[in-house]
A and B are shown apart, each in its own frame.
Chain A
Amino acid sequence: MAAPFIRKVAMAAAPSSKRSMEASVAKSAPLIKTTLIVASSGPDDSRFKDTELTPGPARRNLVPSNSYVLGWVVAFGATGTARLKVRIIFADGTTQDQNLSVQGNLGDPPAQRVVLIP
């Protein structure tokens, strides 16, 4: 079962100590297009374009007291896969990685995935 393993990778450091993030995308076809929306509980929303993410990494700072939702959107202009790697960097220098992957066929509706940074 996947769940017990997943619990092991819960935040190593206190969420409030987050300082910055990096995101990079690997795709099997150039016509797969992705974008990463950084939605914040504060006023510091932002967005990374496909060209910034591939190969990346795209970087930005995080406000420790804010919570973030990363919305990853993938449009299939080709059949193939896309993989997102998000690295969260904490004040003590520790990091936490999140990996997501999606697969689709040319013409499929865009895929959406979420990474939570409480």
Chain B
Amino acid sequence: MSAPTKKVSRLLLSVAVPILLAHGVSAQENCPETTGLQDYINCRLGAEDLSEEEAAAEELAAAGQEDADKVANADSLGGSKLDLAKRFFTLLNLGDLKEEPTGITFSFNPELFPDLPLHFNPRVVVHEPELYETLVTEIDREGGPIAEGMRADLKDRLKKSFGDFDDTELRVVGSWRHLSRTEGAAVMAESIFEASGFETTSFNFLAEKLPTWMAVNPDLQAMTPLNTLEDGLRAQVKSDIDSFADQAAREVEALHQSLENNRFYALGMLVANDPQVSFDGFYRLREGAAGPNEWGGTARYEYGLVSYAQYLRWAGRAGRGGKSVETLNTYLARPSVQHWFKRQPRVAALLEVSRIDPFTLDRPEDGLSMKLDSIRRLTGKLTYGQVLASNPGSKFDFEARYDDFSDDLTKKNRFVATATWTQKLTDRLAQAAGGTQLVVSAIWANKPEFRGEVDRGFGMRAGLKWALDGDEQENDQGENGE
């Protein structure tokens, strides 16, 4: 095998159609009448249903001191350590709590550190512990240490040994922001917002209707469910809320248009394009059969070629104050700015590192012993993306990355380059295709991903990828490897 042929070139072409990615905030027609009147109205305005964690928070707020006493006395609560943690977190109003079948996320309030240029968002994720995948493979291995008849029992016993916090992840997401610069932009945004005006006819209409509803039912409260009202009042309330929702939708659309015309969103885009550093770090602590500890992090530097910082520099050179909306309009009207503003070019550099600690598990009573070395992975990435000016619904992205997987016995170190074209579909096409955008990617790599010697390789892939209600599916038309 000659040296040049050890280098494998590969081209992958993939066609993907992810759909239903955006739901927008449009008004809802089918809102449950079992929730409180206020929640029903908010649902008609486009709010999502009250989540279970919000409901739990409301429950705790209602229970008040009585519950606080129970929390202080763990025995009387009779719950697990995790239940206690949840109640403390909610009672102390430390942030948001999200429960999912795979675990619970405690997101601490970002306002905990308001004056720091570094914007933190710390989280603790308590995962539902699962058996470590490599361990399961070893247990199920034909000819392995565990007899076939004993495997299910062993896995069952290992699972039952898990505690509440045997798979806990600490995560910090953050970004660096230029405080004084952002504050200047916020002052300008405030003046644009105030000048945009907002009709409040719909809210006044609802305020006038409230006493008429209460004249029929004096006990009416904000949280009275709509379906508990007597038929005549229920019909009247629904009709009034329908009229309110229609008017509110017109008013918010007028405000949206006014903000657009007054460059509110353009200003936001300039600020979003300012140079920024963001990071995402995690440390995952696992116990016993849940697997080894793992840590990692991503640091990212990115900026847009048309930014608020550039606008301020231009305003300074032109001898104008950067806080004037008129100056902003003049800047955005410049041909060169318009040229790039339409395209929204964006550059990013990213460094990603992770390490899985060594893993040891000895269960001589079951004849099972496992020892795995640590694995470190390092990836460096450069990206460039922009909208295609001739077609605003079309976007081009390029990514070049190097993966250093020296510790990983299954993967190779390699360069990978990816060019992606994304086309937003028209409503008609989206309906026919069952998706909202078409994604075409061409991928080149100097080596295959997994270890193994080959002479040469050329891979191709074409397929359809789609998602329905977040359930992504893929249908590859074919791929050939080396």
Q: Which residues of A contact B (CB under 8 A)?
A: 1-3, 5-11, 15, 26, 28, 30-31, 33, 35, 37, 39-41, 45, 47, 49-51, 55, 67-69, 71, 73, 75-79, 97-100, 102, 104, 106-118
Contact A37 B200 (CB under 8 A): yes
Contact B264 A5 (CB under 8 A): no
Using Cβ atoms and an 8 Å threshold, which residues of chain B touch A111? 25, 45-47
Q: Mark B27-61, 1 if CB is under 8 A from A, else 0.
A: 00000001111110110011101111011111101
Judged by a CB distance under 8 angstroms, whether B248 is at the interface is yes
**Residue A7 contacts which of B36, B41, B190, B252 (CB distance < 8 angstroms)?**
B36
Nearest chain-B residue to A49 (Cβ)?
A: B194
Total count of chain B residues near the partner, CB < 8 A: 67
What are 6 A-B residue pairs whose CB atoms fall within 8 Å in the complex? A50-B193, A73-B198, A77-B267, A98-B222, A99-B54, A114-B38
Using Cβ atoms and an 8 Å threshold, which residues of chain A touch B35? 2-3, 6
Contact B194 A28 (CB under 8 A): no
Contact A104 B58 (CB under 8 A): no
Using Cβ atoms and an 8 Å threshold, which residues of chain A touch B49? 2
Contact A26 B223 (CB under 8 A): no
Interface of chain B residues 245 through 267 with chain A (CB within 8 A): 248, 252-253, 255-256, 259, 264-265, 267
Given contacts A77-B267, A113-B42, contact A11 B203 (CB under 8 A): no
Nearest chain-B residue to A102 (Cβ)?
A: B47
A57 CB to nearest chain B CB (Å): 14
Nearest chain-A residue to B204 (Cβ)?
A: A39
**Complex: how many Å from CA A68 to CA B209?**
10
A71 CB to nearest chain B CB (Å): 4
A67 CB to nearest chain B CB (Å): 4
* Residue of B52, B186, B211 contacting most chain A CB atoms (<10 Å): B186
Sort A-B residue pairs by CB-CB distance and give the 9 closest, nearest first.
A30-B186, A77-B268, A71-B203, A2-B55, A67-B210, A39-B207, A39-B203, A8-B62, A116-B222
**Complex: how many Å from CA A106 to CA B271?**
11
**Residue A69 contacts which of B55, B59, B210, B264 (CB distance < 8 angstroms)?**
B210
Contact B267 A31 (CB under 8 A): yes
Contact A39 B182 (CB under 8 A): no
* Residue of B24, B39, B55, B253 contacting most chain A CB atoms (<10 Å): B55
Given contacts A6-B50, A110-B259, contact A77 B221 (CB under 8 A): no
Given contacts A67-B211, A69-B210, contact A77 B42 (CB under 8 A): no
Contact A41 B272 (CB under 8 A): no
**Complex: how many Å from CA A97 to CA B57?**
12
Using Cβ atoms and an 8 Å threshold, which residues of chain A touch B186? 30-31
Contact B207 A6 (CB under 8 A): no
Using Cβ atoms and an 8 Å threshold, which residues of chain B touch A47? 200
**Complex: how many Å from CA A40 to CA B61?**
27
Contact B214 A31 (CB under 8 A): no
Using Cβ atoms and an 8 Å threshold, which residues of chain A touch B252? 73, 109-110, 112
Q: Mark B383-395, 1 if CB is under 8 A from A, else 0.
A: 0000000000000
**Complex: how many Å from CA A35 to CA B52?**
27
Contact B58 A5 (CB under 8 A): yes
A47 CB to nearest chain B CB (Å): 8
Judged by a CB distance under 8 angstroms, whether B111 is at the interface is yes
Given contacts A6-B58, A40-B207, A50-B190, contact A117 B202 (CB under 8 A): no
A35 CB to nearest chain B CB (Å): 7
**Complex: how many Å from CA A76 to CA B110?**
18
Given contacts A31-B268, A76-B268, A110-B259, contact A11 B222 (CB under 8 A): yes
Judged by a CB distance under 8 angstroms, whether B350 is at the interface is no
**Complex: how many Å from CA A41 to CA B477?**
64
Given contacts A6-B50, A116-B222, contact A107 B194 (CB under 8 A): no
Contact A106 B223 (CB under 8 A): no
A2 CB to nearest chain B CB (Å): 4
Given contacts A100-B42, A109-B253, A115-B38, contact A8 B268 (CB under 8 A): no
Given contacts A33-B193, A33-B264, A113-B47, 6 further A-B contacts (CB under 8 A): A7-B36, A51-B190, A67-B207, A73-B198, A76-B268, A114-B206
**Complex: how many Å from CA A47 to CA B54?**
27
A28 CB to nearest chain B CB (Å): 6
Judged by a CB distance under 8 angstroms, whether B11 is at the interface is no
Contact A10 B211 (CB under 8 A): no
* Residue of A10, A73, A114 contacting most chain B CB atoms (<10 Å): A114
Contact A114 B253 (CB under 8 A): no
A22 CB to nearest chain B CB (Å): 15
